Chains A and B, each alone.
Chain A
Amino acid sequence: QSALTQPASVSGSPGQSITISCTGTISDIGSYNFVSWYQQHPGKAPKLMIYDVSNRPSGVSNRFSASKSGNTASLTISGLQPEDEADYYCNSYTTSSTLVFGGGTKLTVL
């Protein structure tokens, strides 16, 4: 159950776009379309942003989009806003019927 691999940090200026990658293996991301992304502000509970690779829950801005290719998933945030500054975690279902998270990416809006 090794964690998925995410960059420790990314940054961008307001209005720009950024992409966060999440690399797994054939035992998790590569086997299922059950990849989700969560946003977490300091001291807050994680919030679901994307589920099943690329679906947005109601209420989540369409500035958030995501995709998957092979063993790697990606989250893109366009038109960066100050409130997007947070930690982002990817998550995947695995062939062992367990879940695995990425190590998290700290997004800084410059």
Chain B
Amino acid sequence: DGGITQSPKYLFRKEGQNVTLSCEQNLNHDAMYWYRQDPGQGLRLIYYSQIVNDFQKGDIAEGYSVSREKKESFPLTVTSAQKNPTAFYLCASRALESGNTIYFGEGSWLTVV
């Protein structure tokens, strides 16, 4: 099946740990995105990438890092510098010629314990 796969669905992080959320897509999309969503709130853009080996900071990039070594993969690392990481994280992808039509994964819940 074509789509975007995020893993894990649920993740617990201890204070001071780095954790990495996986995002893989087989849609052959060039652009990929990471959003953060806090309970009852809208989506906030963390990082986005339009081509391999290039990515740009979104509105809330501090405490996060990404890589884009392959077209189909865009992992997000939540570092210990992110002081309030508990949230729902969504990965998305888009074909560059499709404008605003983007496709989302099922999301990953990250909780700090």
A binds B: no
Q: Give me the interface of A with B, judged by CB distance under 8 Å.
A: none
